Amino acid sequence: MNCGRVRRRFSEHRDRALAAAEARAITAHLEACAQCAASWRSFNADLDHLGSLPVIETAGEIAAGVFDRLDMERRQPGLSLLFRPFGSARPLMLPSLVPAVFVLVGVLTGALALGRAAEPLPTVRLSASPSTWGSLLPPSGTEGNPLFSMSEVSPPRVRSGEVVPSYLPAHPGPGTVFLETVVARDGSVSAVTVLGGDSELARPMVDALRRERYEPARFRGRPVAVSIYRLFSRMEVWGGV
Amino acid sequence: MASGELALSTAESRPAATAAEPALVERCRQGDAEAFARLVALHEGMVLNLAARLLGDPEEARDIGQDVFLQVYRTLGGFQGRSTLRTWIYRIVVNQCRNRQRWWRRRRRAALCPLEDISAADEARLATASADESPFERLARRERARRIESALGALSFDHRAILLLREVEGLTCEEIGTTLALPVGTVKSRLSRARDGLRRGLGREGEERP
C-alpha cells in the first residue's frame, strides 16, 4: 500500500470503519513510513483539537427564558407575534407572516372600499303634471285653491264699451300709477288699490274705476271674482314741425 | 420560576441521564415544568456549544438555544423514541442553525465571526478555563483555537455540522445519519471531505501529498 492510498484512508481508519485486513495494512505502513506516521499524528491532533474549542458555560437561563416566552404566548398569543423585538435580530419565520397577512388584507380591503363606485343617488320621482304644485294643491278655482290659469277663464269685460276711459283725460301731468281692481262675481268693482305711484295723482282714476261695471269673468261657465292689474303712464310728447 | 430551581447539575453522567430519559420525557409531555427544566439543564450545554460552533457566534447560540428548547417543548408530544432524545435535539439544533445562517446570509452578514472578535466575557471565560497554563501556553492554545475556528468557518454548513457531531459530540455515523436524515454512506463521504477541508484550512495541504 503506497503513501497516497494510506493517507486517503485516514478518515475511515480514524473511525475504525475499514476492513480488518486493510486496517492492518495501514497500521503496518504507518510503522514503516515516518512521513505518513507524522501526517497521521497531525491528522488526529487537528481533529482532537476541535474538542478543545472554547466552551460556553450555562447558568440555567435558557429554561427561564423558554418559560417566559411560553407564558407570554399563553397570555397574549397575537401580541407576541406582532411585537417581536427587532433588536434581537431573530429570523422572521412563518409565524411572523401572520401579522403581514393581516396588514395586507387590511390594505386591500381599504383599497377596494376606496375604489368602489359611489352609491347612486335616490331616484327623484317626477310628477306627470307640468307643475309640481299640482299634486300638492286642491284643484284650481275651488275654495281651497282660488288660483287658476288664464287659459281656463274668460276675462271680465267693461260694459260701458269705452275705447279710452273717460278718467284718463282728467289725469294731470306726466306720471305712472299701478292699480289693482277686484271685480266681483256680479260684475261690480269691490276694491281698487293703488300698488304704485303717487296716490294723489291716482285718486281720479280710483274713483272712476270704482264706478265701473263689468261683465264678470267666468271659469268653466261660472262667474268668478278676479283681480285686474293696470299700469297707467302719461308723458308729454313734443314734436317739431 | 426562580433561576435557582433551574441551576441543576449538568455533570450528571450520560448513561444515567439516558436511562432516566423516557420517564423525564413522559413527565414533560404531561406539562411538568420542573421536569422540563431538568431536561433543559441536561442538554443546554450541548445545544449552546454546538450552536456556537456551527454559527461561530456565542450570542447567536444563546438566542438559538431558547428557540431550540421552545421547539422541543412544543413538539415533544411527537417524539416517538425511535432515536435518543439527544439525537432528536441535535437535529433541531442543526436545523435551527441552518435556518439562522440562511437568514443572515440573505442579509449579507458575514456567516462567522472570527475569534479575534470575542467579547470580554469570552476572554474572561478563556482565561478562567486555563488558569493553570503559562501565558505562552495560553497564547498558543488561543492561537490554535483561532485557526481551528477559521478553518471550520471555511467549511460548508453541512460539512461543519457533520464534523462537529462526529469529533466534538462523539456521534457515530449512524447517529449522524439519523440526525441529519442522510444515508450512512453519504455521512461517511461527507465526513471524509470535511476532515480534508479542515486540514486544508489549517495549512496541512502539503502534508497530504507524499
Give B63-80 pLDDT, tens digit per residue: 888 899 999 988 888 888
B167 interaction partners in chain A (CB closer than 8 Å): 47-48, 50-51
* pTM more than 0.90: no
> What is the predicted pLDDT for the residue at A83?
54
Strand A217-219 relative to strand A214-215, pairing: unpaired
B38 min Cα distance to partner chain A (Å): 9
Long-range contacts of B196-201 (CB under 8 A, 24+ apart): B196/A11, B197/B151, B197/B154, B197/B155, B197/B159, B198/A46, B198/A47, B198/A50, B198/B148, B198/B151, B198/B152, B198/B155, B198/B163, B199/A43, B199/A46, B200/B151, B201/B147, B201/B150, B201/B151, B201/B152, B201/B154, B201/B155
Average pLDDT in the B130-151 region? Answer: 78
A26 interaction partners in chain B (CB closer than 8 Å): none
A103 min Cα distance to partner chain B (Å): 23
If one compares B112 and B42, the residue with the highest pLDDT of the two is B42
Tens digit of each residue's pLDDT (9 = 90 or more) over A15-26: 888 889 999 999
Distance CA A197, CA B107 (A): 96
Average pLDDT in the A67-94 region? Answer: 60
The interface predicted TM-score (ipTM) is 0.71
The DSSP secondary structure of A27-87, one letter per residue, reads: HHHHHH-HHHHHHHHHHHHHHHHGGGS------SHHHHHHHHHHHHHHH-HHHHHHT--GG
Instruction: Using the predicted structure, report yes or no on whether residue B190 has a pLDDT greater than 90.
Output: yes
If one compares B167 and A95, the residue with the highest pLDDT of the two is B167
Question: Residue B144's pLDDT band (boundaries 50, 70, 90)?
Answer: confident
Instruction: Using the predicted structure, report yes or no on whether residue A218 has a pLDDT greater than 80.
Output: yes
Is A17 within 8 Å of chain B by CB?
yes
Is A1 within 8 Å of chain B by CB?
no
Tens digit of each residue's pLDDT (9 = 90 or more) over A88-146: 445 456 666 777 888 999 999 998 888 776 666 666 555 555 555 556 667 766 667 77
CA A183 to chain centre: 59
B61 interaction partners in chain A (CB closer than 8 Å): 56
| Contact call for residues B90 and B177 (beta carbons, < 8 A) | no
Average pLDDT in the A201-212 region? Answer: 82
Tens digit of each residue's pLDDT (9 = 90 or more) over B5-38: 333 334 444 555 566 778 888 888 888 888 888 8
Residue type, A76: Q
Which three three-digit cell numbers place residue B68? 431550540
Check CB contact under 8 Å for A49 and B144.
yes
> What is the predicted pLDDT for the residue at B166?
92
> What is the predicted pLDDT for the residue at B7?
35
Question: How distant, in Å, are the alpha carbons of A72, A103, B164 from that of A63?
Answer: 14, 33, 24
Q: How many cross-chain Cβ pairs, A to B, lie less than 8 Å apart?
A: 142
Supply the mean pLDDT for chain B: 78
Nearest CB to B37: which of A36, A63, A93?
Answer: A63
What is the distance between the terminal CA atoms of chain A, rounded to a whole angstrom?
157
Supply the mean pLDDT for chain A: 77
Q: Shortest CA distance to A91 belongs to which of B174, B80, B101, B10?
A: B101
> What is the predicted pLDDT for the residue at B95?
92
B133 min Cα distance to partner chain A (Å): 14
Tens digit of each residue's pLDDT (9 = 90 or more) over A39-54: 899 888 888 888 877 7
Which residues partner with A158 through β-bridges? A214
If one compares A158 and A122, the residue with the highest pLDDT of the two is A158
> What is the predicted pLDDT for the residue at A141?
64
> What is the predicted pLDDT for the residue at B2?
37
Tens digit of each residue's pLDDT (9 = 90 or more) over B82-126: 788 888 999 999 999 998 888 777 665 554 444 445 555 555 555
Question: How distant, in Å, are the alpha carbons of A16, A63, A199, B94 from that of A87?
Answer: 47, 21, 97, 23
Q: Shortest CA distance to B145 belongs to which of A54, A48, A47?
A: A54
Distance CA B200, CA B172 (A): 24
B126 interaction partners in chain A (CB closer than 8 Å): 54
Which residues 6+ apart lie within 8 Å of B21 measured at CB?
B84, B85
A73 interaction partners in chain B (CB closer than 8 Å): none
> Which chain B residue is nearest to residue A43, measuring alpha carbons?
B199
Distance CA A51, CA A64 (A): 28
> What is the predicted pLDDT for the residue at B124?
54
